[in-house]
Amino acid sequence: MNGKEKRDIVGFQLGNKLSKIKLIKNNQWRRQNAEIQLELDQNRLDSTSSSSSLPFLAVTCHWDSSNSNQLSLYSIPSPHYYRHSPSSKKMNHSMEDPYQFFSNENNSNNNGEIIDIQIVESASMGEFPLIVTNDSKAKLSIYSLETNQMESNQKERKQGDIQLVCQSSIQLDHRGASSSLSIHSEKKEMASGGEDGKVILLDQDGHEKTKWMADSLSIQSIAYLSRESILTASLTSQIKRWDLRQTDRPTGSTIAIGPMNSFVHCISQHPLQPSIFATGSSNGTVFVWDERLFKLPVAKIEAHQSNIWEIRFHPTNPDQILSCSNDGSVTICDTNAFSDNNRSSFKVESGSSVKTLIQNSSIGGSVNSFDYDRGTNSIVCCSDNGYLYMKSL
């Protein structure tokens, strides 16, 4: 695994085609990771340094390989590990490579291809973060992030000090894959949308609470709007809002219809305005919607040339929308959001722009997934070429 620097992009080769990446955001776990790394490599930064210098903890999975259901946990150097020097100078090679703590490669033969990864974190170190996956065989697996207990006189740490422990694996009542996944951490509830058009709600232990047919075709994306409502987007191009207060049979209504000859791959809710959400389409277009404005998008942004796999509002600057695509790019859209005392709304003004953060010529291959780190104001993404890339915004 060699670190490569392409302009202001840092890349690491991890192996097969990477389909998903999610970061553990809890600084206590990142600090624990740094302490382990100090024993593995004395040239690493001191674990007491700022959160922006702590190495990342990243959960990844692969596709299109013999181990397409492989789930891995890596320690990845923060962008702040790298010296801000001219490209003619070499990087600090003592901090160059990621470190793999965990892989379920030898225990994953009975699972299908992983479709999505969701992480539920708690502020307390005593409550282990949970990693939830769904797969092509309609299995939902719940892992906890834990540390091995080691004797104090043990001088050398072994791979596996931080590991993912499978707590349960649930066979969902879908015909075909579990094609989408969403978690409401405060409600302690999970939602699975299936290729069969069915939505299944489960409690935090994976016990089924209710289920219903939400659409006639595959649910491509599912997302909680609140404790009482959930959004689904299907291959019919319909976006539906479901009222969960009627627990035995949630009621749904179509609140948006996507463009002809395309469908929604992903949904992201505005962090400050709950009625606002953005969608990424199969034709590369970002749409912004207000559920109060029936079926009409309030913004249309030509962000990519092909399928948008993931989308999210910038957590600290929600005027901006980040997205990654099959065209091999990651973009950030400046939407110029606004609000006043009488209403809360959203629009794209004439000065709005799309900035390409990472492009195909830099990496080659689809960018399938990304995550954002607030402490370093950077993104981490993964690609079909087996590389993981980091870029500061």
Q: Which residues contact 268 (CB under 8 A, 6 or more apart)?
A: 223, 277, 278, 279, 311, 312, 313, 321
Nearest alpha carbon to residue 112 among 144, 70, 72: 70
CA atoms within 13 A on the CB side of 147: 15
What was the pLDDT predicted at 68? 60
- 79-130, pLDDT tens digit by residue? 776 544 334 333 333 345 788 888 887 565 567 899 999 998 865 334 678 9
**Which of 46 and 246 is assigned the larger pLDDT?**
246
Q: Which of 187-191, 219-223, 296-300 has the lowest mean pLDDT?
A: 296-300
3-state DSSP assignment of residue 362 = helix
Rounded average pLDDT over 192-218: 94
CB 298 within 8 A of CB 345: yes
Residue with token string 């009542």: 173
- 361-393, pLDDT tens digit by residue? 666 789 999 999 988 899 999 999 889 999 988
Q: Rounded to an integer, what is the distance from CA 387 to the centroid of its chain?
A: 16
Q: What's the whole-model pTM score?
A: 0.86
What was the pLDDT predicted at 16? 81
- Per-residue pLDDT band for 294 (boundaries 50, 70, 90) equals low
- Maximum Cα–Cα distance for the chain, whole Å? 65
**Which of 345 and 323 is assigned the larger pLDDT?**
323
DSSP 46: P
**Distance (Å) of CA 46 to CA 23, 119, 157, 392:** 21, 27, 17, 22
Q: Which of 33-37, 264-268, 386-390 has the lowest mean pLDDT?
A: 33-37
- 120-162, pLDDT tens digit by residue? 886 533 467 899 999 999 999 999 988 875 443 344 444 447 8
CB 195 within 8 A of CB 177: yes
**How would you label 89-127 residue by residue, b for 16+ Cβ within 10 Å and e otherwise?**
eebeeebbbbbbbbbbeeebeebbbbbbbbbbbeeeeee
Separation between Cα atoms, residue 370 and residue 321, nearest integer Å = 13
